[in-house]
Structure 1
């Protein structure tokens, strides 16, 4: 067992398409799972012109607008890394928490490595969908956010705004912890 404190950070991203490298990371939203008012958000300049029209339709973001108003990716990732370091100090493990974490983590991992050479989260992520499946024994189809929301009744909803969605995910994670995960006695 580790002596390090574990700090759970809910992360959501909006992107121009399905895979990092070929498509751009457009926005990052992150918050502490157990203190969601402690948050980070930014929008990034695209690293290329390639996009999936459906992805942009869902987010409402524009590559042309972000090319003008977004932050340079290196600067955005430096700011995100600084925010993460402030959360934990030297005696903490920062844990990436996401809803469909493999997708969001892949973009964050790619951007951290491409622009900073390392990922403060390391090589792992905690997936809320998998946690819910394990806690309930449900089918994978029942891990869709709409079905989980029916069961757990969160007060927030998903909006495709990265920070709002990070806070929504944090609430879902907390509800799973409170309602479904057996507590030690």
Structure 2
């Protein structure tokens, strides 16, 4: 993992969901690589420079502790939930990095997470395999392009989350 972003996506008290007025509350870090092993295709998609990150990237220990603090700032006494599309990809990386590098572990515990792909399947009556981003109903889509920059993608996912959470089924 060379970069990641988190965006405040709203609150839910068990009965009322509140989406943020905007998605300016974000956390972004570019990380120093932890290994010489990498997937060249993935690197081409994100456009990051591994050599540059080896020199100026934030150490994962510092970045994950900073991310933990940022999450706690917004969640306060509440329990933060990681929302992602698809969750299985983002959770795998973020959870491992939090457990491996943060002094306090994961701010999401071992299972406080919400999969947007599953939510799309439930809301639309589709299968999981037919609920990918490319088949997202227009009413759930974000107004933002999918750029593969971590902040842009996190904001896009936060908007999709709010649209799904507030929307009705097909």
TM-score by length of 2: 0.86
1:81 aligns to 2:68 (yes or no)? yes
Tell me if the contact between 1:45 and 1:72 (Cα under 8 Å) persists in the aligned partners: yes
Query: Moved runs in structure 1, 4+ residues, more than 4 A?
Result: none
2, 26, 29: which one pairs with 2:5?
Answer: 29
Aligned to 2:81: 95
- Supply the distance in 2 between the matched residues of 1:151 and 1:85 (Cα, whole angstroms): 31
74, 90, 97: which one pairs with 1:104?
Answer: 90
Q: Deviations over 1:51-70 (max 9, x none)?
A: 11110011111211111121
Aligned to 1:64: 51
Deviation, structure 1 residue 99: 0.6
- Supply the distance in 2 between the matched residues of 1:49 and 1:173 (Cα, whole angstroms): 35
Aligned to 1:142: 130
Q: Across the two proteins, how many residue pairs are aligned to each other?
A: 156
Instruction: For structure 1, list consecutive stretches of 5 or more residues without a partner in the other structure.
Output: 1-24
Instruction: For structure 2, list consecutive stretches of 5 or more residues without a partner in the other structure.
Output: 10-18
Tell me if the contact between 1:142 and 1:148 (Cα under 8 Å) persists in the aligned partners: no
Q: Deviations over 1:134-153 (max 9, x none)?
A: 11111223212121154534
- Supply the distance in 1 between the matched residues of 2:36 and 2:6 (Cα, whole angstroms): 25
Tell me if the contact between 1:88 and 1:94 (Cα under 8 Å) persists in the aligned partners: yes
RMSD: 1.5
Tell me if the contact between 2:31 and 2:58 (Cα under 8 Å) persists in the aligned partners: yes
1:10-49 alignment, distance < 5 Å: 25-33=1-9, 34-35=19-20, 36-49=23-36
Tell me if the contact between 2:30 and 2:58 (Cα under 8 Å) persists in the aligned partners: yes
More strand by share: 1
Aligned to 2:162: 174
